[in-house]
């Protein structure tokens, strides 16, 4: 038998099978095997019905956002960048649970954009993922986001188009609980960011260079952005891929640190957001403990620590009791040079010199993924109805970051989707097959880590580690899950959790 005959026979056999299947589907359209998958899209009536069922105060909070280009100075360098309302960090949006948030977005950029409401279990058609939940807002166009807020906590909004949030297109979103049980005197909202735009190039330049892969670095290519040898024992090895010239604490570099006025004995609630693209931050006060109270908006059993590590997209709330004088709150990039910090001042003493501050934070160090949920937010005990294994794949060599070996294609978002059905308890095993850590983020839900771990939406998954979590499928629509390393996500480390009927 020659090989061409074998091949023809195989093709003939496959075609015959396909024809039989097609005929069968005509004859018995009710056959479950032949039914096309019925995905619950953002335009589905269920999405509005679930929104109407969310509790409402009847109050609407409106905040206009204008995405545009503006001039500013970062770390002493005059530059032009992109942001909301002409600033590196957009306005802090504050509302209460039950309020409706209304955000008219005007796009003054030369390209399309969108806004994603990071961490919120909101209506699917307001999630801000072009190609999945809405068409992108075109250059010169506008879009009104309007949705109810049903969970208190520290959240974040940012563009979900290309590398835009690596410029200034992000800001803090704080949702207050009128029955807030935590006692504190003041609140300090802190956005941490790794900044290169206008200093060493643009995020798009960096992305283009990294996309060639590390295999290219053996050739005679000048590497401006790719960072080699950034290591963090805490993160299990390779800490990051990108050389960062400035680390920002509320938009300000270390030489121009923000000063927060307080009084001795005051309890400050720190609301810390890691808005960076490629940098985890280790945050703490030298010689003083902070008390961790929440991660990703949800309360945890309080823990006193010397420092806490936040992956990109994670948030931590902590209580800091103010001592007299100047208190530095350090944010040290894991495995990278430089630092960001802010100062608390009680009006006495003198501000410490940048050079006089320690460059490490050691002692008891943890991260949100290692905390324990407060009992009030534990998921009810229930066996999983469905289990999905999500393998994190790819390498620095080809820079082909992917999920289950598939790089996400916005033109075919449901290819390789993780199907789920309403009211299921879904268990997800995130298996990291790569040699690098990834901060994995799920849209539209808050999951609970195994063994009564924290309720979260973004979790650090270390190299070769498996992280298991569960969530309730109670928010119909199409929701992506992805690495919050901006460069990894842009290369395709994105999957889709897809509600089906
Ligand atoms: Cu990643």
Considering only residues 77 and 3, tell me which one the structure prediction assigns the higher pLDDT. 77
What phi and psi, each to the nearest 5 degrees, are found at residue 288? -140, 135
pLDDT at 130 over 80: yes
- The pLDDT-based confidence of 8 (bands split at 50, 70, 90) is very low
Q: From ligand 1's centre to the CA of 333, what distance in Å?
A: 16
Q: From ligand 1's centre to the CA of 489, what distance in Å?
A: 7
Q: From ligand 1's centre to the CA of 462, what distance in Å?
A: 10
Would the CATH topology of 45-180 be identical to that of 187-371?
A: yes
The pLDDT value given to residue 179 = 94
Can you tell me which residue has the tokens 């961490």?
119
Distance between CA atoms of residues 292 and 188, nearest Å = 14
Six token digits for residue 437: 């850590």
> Of 20-29, 105-114, 265-274, 339-348, which range is least confident?
20-29
What phi and psi, each to the nearest 5 degrees, are found at residue 98? 90, -20
Distance between CA atoms of residues 346 and 456, nearest Å = 34
Q: Please report the beta strands in 286-371, taking only residues with DSSP state E, as ranges in sequence order.
A: 290-295, 298-305, 307-310, 315-321, 326-333, 340-345, 365-367
Residue 347 buriedness (CB in 10 A; 0-12 / 13-18 / 19+): exposed
Distance between CA atoms of residues 416 and 408, nearest Å = 9
Asked whether the beta carbons of 214 and 396 are under 8 A apart, the reply is yes
Q: From ligand 1's centre to the CA of 432, what distance in Å?
A: 10
Of the candidates 395, 268, 408, 398, the residue with the CA atom closest to the CA atom of residue 327:
268
Q: From ligand 1's centre to the CA of 279, what distance in Å?
A: 11
Q: CA angle 307-308-311, nearest 5°?
A: 145
The pLDDT value given to residue 14 = 33
Q: From ligand 1's centre to the CA of 350, what distance in Å?
A: 41
- The pLDDT-based confidence of 219 (bands split at 50, 70, 90) is low
Distances (CA, A) of 442 to 9, 268, 457: 46, 29, 5
Mean pLDDT of 12-40: 51
CB atoms within 10 A of CB 166: 30
The CATH label, of 2.60.40.420, 2.60.40.10, 3.40.190.10, 2.70.180.20, for the domain at 187-371 is 2.60.40.420
- The pLDDT-based confidence of 13 (bands split at 50, 70, 90) is very low
- The pLDDT-based confidence of 18 (bands split at 50, 70, 90) is very low
Q: From ligand 1's centre to the CA of 349, what distance in Å?
A: 43
- State the alpha helices, DSSP H only, in 263-318: none
Mean pLDDT of 128-150: 98
Q: From ligand 1's centre to the CA of 115, what distance in Å?
A: 21
CB atoms within 10 A of CB 400: 16
The pLDDT value given to residue 16 = 33
Asked whether the beta carbons of 209 and 226 are under 8 A apart, the reply is yes
Longest alpha-carbon distance in the chain:
93
For the stretch 428-471, pLDDT in tens is: 999 999 999 999 999 999 999 999 999 999 999 999 999 999 99
Q: From ligand 1's centre to the CA of 227, what distance in Å?
A: 15
The pLDDT value given to residue 205 = 94
pTM of the full structure: 0.92
Q: From ligand 1's centre to the CA of 26, what distance in Å?
A: 44
- The pLDDT-based confidence of 22 (bands split at 50, 70, 90) is very low
The C-alpha torsion from 454 through 460 and 462 to 468, rounded to 10°, is 40
Q: From ligand 1's centre to the CA of 397, what distance in Å?
A: 14
The pLDDT value given to residue 1 = 32
- The pLDDT-based confidence of 355 (bands split at 50, 70, 90) is confident
The pLDDT value given to residue 215 = 75
The pLDDT value given to residue 89 = 97
The pLDDT value given to residue 216 = 66
Assigned fold of 45-180:
Immunoglobulin-like (2.60.40)
- The pLDDT-based confidence of 265 (bands split at 50, 70, 90) is very high
Distance between CA atoms of residues 487 and 94, nearest Å = 30
- Domain positions in the chain are 45-180, 187-371, 376-499
Mean pLDDT of 208-221: 77
Q: From ligand 1's centre to the CA of 485, what distance in Å?
A: 5
- The pLDDT-based confidence of 354 (bands split at 50, 70, 90) is confident
* Top CATH class, 376-499: mainly beta
DSSP string, 165-225: GGTB-EEEEEEE-TT-----SEEEEEEEEEE-BTTTB-HHHHHHHHHT-GGGGGSS---SS
Q: From ligand 1's centre to the CA of 488, what distance in Å?
A: 5
* 228-265: burial string, b at 16+ Cβ within 10 Å, e else: eebebebbbbbbbbbbbbbbbbbbbbbeebbebebeee
CB atoms within 10 A of CB 6: 10
Percentage with pLDDT > 70 across the chain: 92
Q: From ligand 1's centre to the CA of 394, what distance in Å?
A: 9
Q: From ligand 1's centre to the CA of 493, what distance in Å?
A: 7
Q: From ligand 1's centre to the CA of 406, what distance in Å?
A: 14
Asked whether the beta carbons of 320 and 307 are under 8 A apart, the reply is no
Q: From ligand 1's centre to the CA of 418, what distance in Å?
A: 19
For the stretch 46-64, pLDDT in tens is: 999 999 999 999 999 999 9
Distance between CA atoms of residues 322 and 288, nearest Å = 10
Residue 395 buriedness (CB in 10 A; 0-12 / 13-18 / 19+): middle
pLDDT at 220 over 90: no
Q: From ligand 1's centre to the CA of 496, what distance in Å?
A: 16
Q: From ligand 1's centre to the CA of 213, what distance in Å?
A: 14
Q: From ligand 1's centre to the CA of 245, what distance in Å?
A: 21
């Amino acid at each position: 038998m020659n090989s061409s005959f074998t091949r023809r026979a195989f093709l003939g056999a496959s075609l015959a099978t396909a024809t039989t299947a097609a005929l069968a589907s005509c004859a018995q359209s009710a056959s479950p095997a032949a039914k096309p998958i019925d995905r619950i899209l953002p335009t589905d009536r269920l999405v509005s019905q679930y929104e109407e069922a969310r509790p409402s105060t009847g109050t609407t909070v409106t905040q206009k956002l204008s995405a545009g280009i503006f001039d500013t100075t970062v770390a002493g360098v005059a530059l032009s960048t992109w942001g909301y309302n002409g600033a590196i960090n957009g306005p802090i949006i504050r509302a209460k649970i039950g309020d409706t948030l209304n955000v008219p977005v005007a796009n003054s950029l030369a390209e399309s954009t969108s806004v994603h409401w990071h961490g919120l279990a909101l209506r699917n058609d307001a999630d801000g993922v072009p190609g999945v939940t809405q068409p992108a807002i075109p250059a010169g166009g506008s879009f009104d986001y309007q949705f109810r807020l049903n969970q208190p906590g520290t959240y974040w909004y940012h563009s979900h188009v290309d590398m835009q949030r690596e410029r200034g297109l992000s800001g803090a979103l704080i949702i207050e609980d009128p029955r807030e049980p935590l006692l504190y005197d003041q609140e300090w909202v802190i956005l941490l960011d790794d900044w290169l735009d206008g200093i060493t190039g643009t995020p798009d330049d960096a992305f283009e260079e990294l996309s060639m892969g590390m295999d290219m670095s053996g050739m005679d290519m000048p590497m401006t952005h790719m960072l080699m040898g950034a290591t963090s024992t805490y993160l299990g090895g390779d800490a990051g891929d990108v050389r960062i010239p400035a680390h920002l604490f509320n938009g300000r570099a270390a030489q121009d640190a923000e000063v927060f006025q307080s009084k001795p004995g005051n309890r400050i609630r720190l609301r810390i957001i890691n808005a960076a693209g490629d940098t985890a931050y280790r945050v703490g006060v030298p010689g003083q403990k902070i008390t961790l109270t929440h991660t990703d908006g949800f309360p945890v059993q309080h823990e006193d620590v010397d420092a806490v590590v936040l992956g990109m997209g994670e948030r931590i709330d902590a209580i800091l009791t103010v001592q007299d004088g100047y208190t530095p709150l350090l944010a040290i990039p894991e495995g990278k040079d430089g630092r960001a910090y802010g100062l608390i001042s009680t009006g006495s003493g003198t501000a410490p010199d940048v050079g006089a501050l320690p460059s490490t934070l050691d002692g008891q160090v943890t991260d949100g993924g290692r905390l324990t949920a407060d009992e009030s937010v534990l998921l009810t005990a229930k066996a999983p109805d469905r289990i999905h294994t999500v393998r994190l794949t790819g390498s620095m060599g080809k820079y082909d970051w992917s999920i289950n070996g598939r790089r996400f294609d916005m033109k075919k978002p449901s290819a390789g989707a993780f199907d789920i059905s309403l009211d299921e308890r879904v268990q997800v095993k995130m298996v990291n097959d790569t040699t690098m850590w990834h901060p994995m983020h799920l849209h539209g839900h808050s999951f609970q880590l195994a063994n009564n771990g924290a309720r979260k939406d973004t979790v650090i998954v270390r190299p070769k580690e498996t992280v298991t979590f569960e969530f309730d499928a109670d928010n119909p629509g199409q929701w992506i899950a992805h690495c919050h390393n901006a460069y990894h996500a842009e290369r395709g480390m994105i999957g889709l959790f897809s509600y089906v009927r």
